[in-house]
Amino acid sequence: MERPSYAELVDRLQSATEDLGGTITERAEADGYPLYHLELPGPRNAPRFLLSSGTHGEEPGGTTGFLHWLEHDAAKWLRIFRIDAFPCLNPYGFERGERHDAAGRDLNRCFREENPPPAVRMVREVLDGTHFAMAVDMHEDCDYFGFYVYERLPKGPTVAPALLARMALEGPISHGEENDGLEIENGVVRMEWPQDTSLTELAMTRDKWPLAFFLYFVADHVITVETPGRQPLAVRVRMQRAAVETALSFTRGRLGL
């Protein structure tokens, strides 16, 4: 499997979105590339579900996995959810296999900046005033052979057990490694924080926000999935699709839909 070019990606996104009765709108431009927000319709008053991918350009499995999910899996969920997506937030990096944008910025550290890059500004403006039952940020770790997930929840059921059981059918799970000083235990990044501190309060103590920190303010449940960049792209795409499917199934059950 090969990742598509950005032009091919956009063509296929537009075709699949049209087939599903949705809309894909150019909301901004960055580094000479258009940036898109995708909306798929659902029942009136349906809960909303958010997907984002392609923040880091050297992680093509997220964007390619989203594309394949959209083309093959999305239709059945439109009876239950309204689904928003940002399919590729860093097309410059996606085209070149580079983590950063053309100015050398890591977009996933810019979500609290006063004057952020265009992709970050677009996400903040589009999501202003919205609310999601769940948000899934689709990433990869280029140094890893196994899958892992970030999930912070002060209370309530977690999706990690179901997600990791599903991932084990598609490829390896990370065990015992460290990531930026945090231990990965059975595929889950262990993160400690004061239990009397909300996630939004936790975010406000940090200067550099990843997208997930911003999403704490607009979604009830936020996860970041990391497929293993050392595996073939086809494996990572299957994992990304399976991660989205598992998160949707979990959210449907949590909401009793």
pLDDT, tens digit (0-9, with 9 covering 90-100), for 76-133: 999 999 999 999 999 999 999 999 999 999 999 999 999 999 999 999 999 999 999 9
Helix (H, G, I), strand (E, B) or coil at 22: coil
Residue 4's pLDDT is: 93
Model confidence at 176: pLDDT above 80: no
Q: Which of 3.40.50.620, 3.30.70.890, 3.40.50.920, 3.40.630.10 would CATH assign to domain 6-255? A: 3.40.630.10
Residue 76's pLDDT is: 97
Contact in structure between 173 and 134 (CB atoms under 8 Å): no
Q: What Cα–Cα distance (Å) separates residue 134 from each residue in 49, 82, 215? A: 5, 11, 9
pLDDT, tens digit (0-9, with 9 covering 90-100), for 131-151: 999 999 999 999 999 999 999
Model confidence at 182: pLDDT above 80: no
Q: Rounded distance, CA 14 to CA 8, Å?
A: 10
Residue 155's pLDDT is: 77
Q: What Cα–Cα distance (Å) separates residue 88 from each residue in 92, 152, 168, 195? A: 10, 24, 26, 34
Instruction: Parse the chain into domains and list their residue ranges.
Output: 6-255
Q: Which residues pair with 149 in a beta bridge?
A: 188, 225
pLDDT, tens digit (0-9, with 9 covering 90-100), for 205-239: 889 999 999 999 999 999 999 999 999 999 999 99
